[in-house]
Amino acid sequence: AQSVSQHNHHVILSEAASLELGCNYSYGGTVNLFWYVQYPGQHLQLLLKYFSGDPLVKGIKGFEAEFIKSKFSFNLRKPSVQWSDTAEYFCAVNVDNQGGKLIFGQGTELSVKP
């Protein structure tokens, strides 16, 4: 069965530090990849998505992610985090034979210290 793995359960950073959150998936076919953010007590919001083309994807709020097909990875990065980036981050995958279904990773809690 397809699965998504996020390596870091909880990441604590100081403001202005660089961020990289790992995401790996297990599926050999075509995938669409997503990063969602969930601020405390709120719904999920789309940060960025990859379907095809340039493997380096830029999203909102200065986030970017790189799809490395050979590593089945889609890591999220931000050069300089802010306190307002404190949230839960979810990687998700949609596989080509399952319509609109999203398979989520376990989530990574990011805490940014001011």
Partner 1 sequence: DTAVSQTPKYLVTQMGNDKSIKCEQNLGHDTMYWYKQDSKKFLKIMFSYNNKELIINETVPNRFSPKSPDKAHLNLHINSLELGDSAVYFCASSPYFSDSPRGYTFGSGTRLTVV
Residues that bind partner 1 (CB under 8 A): 32, 34, 38, 42-46, 49, 51, 88, 90, 92, 94, 98-104, 106-107, 109
Strand partners, 93: 33, 103
Report in angstroms how near the CB of residue 97 gets to partner 1 at its nearest.
11
Are 27 and 73 in contact, with CB atoms under 8 Å apart?
no
Q: Select 66 or 109, whichever has its Cβ closest to partner 1.
A: 109
Report in angstroms how near the CB of residue 107 gets to partner 1 at its nearest.
5
CA dist 8 and 4 (Å) reads 12
Q: Select 70 or 97, whichever has its Cβ closest to partner 1.
A: 97
Report in angstroms how near the CB of residue 79 gets to partner 1 at its nearest.
26
C-alpha distances (whole Å) from 18 to each of 5, 13, 14, 74, 77 are 21, 8, 9, 17, 8
Q: Select 18 or 58, whichever has its Cβ closest to partner 1.
A: 58
Report in angstroms how near the CB of residue 80 gets to partner 1 at its nearest.
26
CA dist 25 and 49 (Å) reads 15
